[in-house]
A = this chain, B = another copy of it.
Amino acid sequence: MKKVAVLIFDNFETLDVFGPVEIFGVLKDLYQIKFYSLNGGLVSNAHGVTIVTEKLELIKDGVAIFLIPGGYGTRIEVNNTNLLTSVSSISQKSEFVLTVCTGSGLLAKTGILNGFHATSNKRAFEWAMSQGEKVKWIKKARWVVDGKYYTSAGVSAGMDMVFGFLQDQHGIEFARKIAFQIEYTWQEDKDADDFYNQLKITLK
């Protein structure tokens, strides 16, 4: 049983969290999901969602899979030194780190993505790049894998990335079967980015 620890902070993006949670959640014999925030307790976002979390310090020794979502909250949290210290430490000690959307900006701010390839949300790409200038940012990608770091494009791309992660862990037929089960049309090609045009618009 592999532990999936999901980082939660105020104003996390709903689907960045719960898209991946649905997929890992279906695989309840293989993965166990828990939610963590810096101080634990109830955490809310702008979509009216309030969820229960535990304290991040409980996973200070790392986990199998550490998932970092995006959302407007990341713009605030990149200035939260305590959170960055904790995210940096947990990420270094975890087996895999997965980010969705602007979650890669938050992770980049810790410095541990320096030298690694990564991607982010099209609509906030310049912001993400500004959080880690030594990261090898890839603008046209659905998701990017570099070593133990999986980073995805915006919101819905997180689901495609998690299926890609399942493919790497369990094979493509396994990943396809789970996607079919939840009636999800998986974009299997991590380099096929239908939303790249949006980047060209927003980067002007």
- Chain A contact residues, CB within 8 Å of chain B: 13-15, 17-19, 21-22, 24-25, 28, 32-35, 42, 45-52, 121-123, 153-157, 180-185, 187, 194-195, 198
Selected contact of A157 from candidates B21, B22, B49, B183, CB within 8 Å:
B183
Q: Which of A45, A51, A123, A182 has the most CB of B within 10 A?
A: A182
B15–A22 CB distance below 8 A: yes
- With A22-B155, A181-B123 as known contacts, state yes or no: A50 contacts B51, CB within 8 Å: yes
Q: Which of A33, A42, A47, A153 has the most CB of B within 10 A?
A: A47
- With A25-B46, A48-B34 as known contacts, state yes or no: A185 contacts B180, CB within 8 Å: no
Selected A-B contacts with CB under 8 Å, 25 pairs? A14-B21, A15-B18, A18-B18, A18-B49, A21-B47, A21-B48, A24-B47, A25-B47, A25-B49, A28-B46, A28-B47, A33-B48, A33-B49, A42-B52, A49-B51, A51-B52, A123-B181, A155-B183, A156-B183, A156-B185, A157-B183, A183-B194, A185-B185, A185-B187, A185-B194
CA distance A135 to B46 in the complex (A): 37
Chain copies in complex: 2
**Which 8 A-B residue pairs are closest in the complex by CB-CB distance?**
A25-B47, A18-B18, A15-B22, A154-B183, A50-B52, A156-B184, A155-B182, A33-B48
B49–A21 CB distance below 8 A: yes
Chain B residues positioned under 8 Å from A185 (CB to CB): 156, 185, 187, 194
B33–A22 CB distance below 8 A: no
Closest to A123 in B: B181
Chain B residues positioned under 8 Å from A32 (CB to CB): 48
Closest to A53 in B: B50
CA distance A156 to B18 in the complex (A): 12
